[in-house]
């Protein structure tokens, strides 16, 4: 009798483990996350000591832990003049990776004076390799892969942004 109760308990426990695993696997994001404009950002080159606007973007802003951790994960597309601006807690060397990110991105690291300090260009989708800033950064801008070259962005260029 004790043996049957023990076997029954083991069976119920085993089934509950597999049921929980199946439930957690069902929670995978299947709907595409839609872009929500939360601000505007412009990037400026300095030509003869005069800022010259290169491009204006609509941006989403990642300024809390959840948004910074999720970023552009699970997005299948992003329009050319859109991006995500991460506002980091601390001004320090930063590092991003492309886990669960489905589109190639240019990752632009920006210091506390709103100047570009480094790039990670054409980051490979789904790659978990660390992509460090190499220098302290307070802001990180993610745009579609290849656009920083197309727009001829350089270290030292400036950004300006405003929240909606």
3-state helix/strand/coil string of the chain: CHHHHHHHHHHHHHHHHHHHHHHHHHCCCCCCCCCCCCEEEEEEEEECCEEEEEEEEEEEEECCHHHHHHCCCCCCCCCCCEEEEEEEEEEEEEEECCCCCCCCEEEEEECCCCEEEEEEEEECCCCCCCEEEEEEEEEEEEEECCHHHHCCCCCCCEEEEEEC
The pTM for the full model equals 0.81
Query: Residue 97: inside a domain, yes or no?
Result: yes
| CATH code where residue 96 lies | 2.60.120.1140
Q: What is the pLDDT of residue 50?
A: 78
Tally of domains in the chain: 1
What is the domain range of residue 94? Answer: 39-163
Q: Which residues contact 93 (CB under 8 A, 6 or more apart)?
A: 132, 133, 134, 135, 136, 137
Query: Residue 10: inside a domain, yes or no?
Result: no
Q: What is the pLDDT of residue 47?
A: 75
Q: What is the pLDDT of residue 33?
A: 87
> In tens digits, what is the pLDDT along the chain, a chain of 164 residues?
555 454 544 544 444 444 444 344 444 555 778 999 999 999 999 777 777 999 999 999 999 999 999 999 999 999 999 999 999 999 999 999 999 999 999 999 999 999 999 999 999 999 999 999 999 999 999 999 999 999 999 999 999 999 99
Query: Residue 26: inside a domain, yes or no?
Result: no
Query: What is the token pair recorded at 88?
Result: 């980091």
Residues paired with residue 141 on neighbouring β-strands, in sequence order: 85, 108
The single residue listed with the structure tokens 């789904």 is: 126
Query: Residue 9: inside a domain, yes or no?
Result: no
Query: Residue 22: inside a domain, yes or no?
Result: no
Dihedral, CA of residue 98, residue 104, residue 106 and residue 112, to nearest 10: -30
Query: Residue 65: inside a domain, yes or no?
Result: yes
Q: Which residues contact 97 (CB under 8 A, 6 or more apart)?
A: 127, 128, 129, 130, 131
């Amino acid at each position: 009798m004790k043996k049957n109760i023990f076997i029954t308990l083991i069976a119920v426990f085993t089934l509950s483990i597999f049921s929980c695993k199946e439930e957690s696997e069902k929670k995978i994001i299947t709907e595409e996350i839609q872009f929500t404009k939360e601000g505007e950002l412009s990037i400026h080159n300095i030509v003869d000591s005069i800022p010259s606007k290169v491009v204006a973007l609509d941006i989403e802003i990642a300024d809390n832990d959840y948004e910074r951790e999720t970023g552009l994960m699970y997005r299948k597309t992003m329009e050319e003049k859109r991006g995500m601006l991460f506002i980091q807690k601390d001004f320090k060397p930063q590092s991003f990776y492309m886990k669960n990110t489905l589109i190639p991105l240019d990752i632009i690291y920006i210091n506390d004076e709103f100047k570009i300090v480094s790039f990670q260009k054409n980051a490979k989708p789904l790659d978990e390799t660390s992509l460090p800033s190499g220098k302290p950064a307070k802001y990180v801008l993610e745009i579609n892969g290849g656009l920083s070259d197309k727009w001829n962005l350089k270290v030292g260029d400036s950004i300006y942004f405003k929240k909606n």
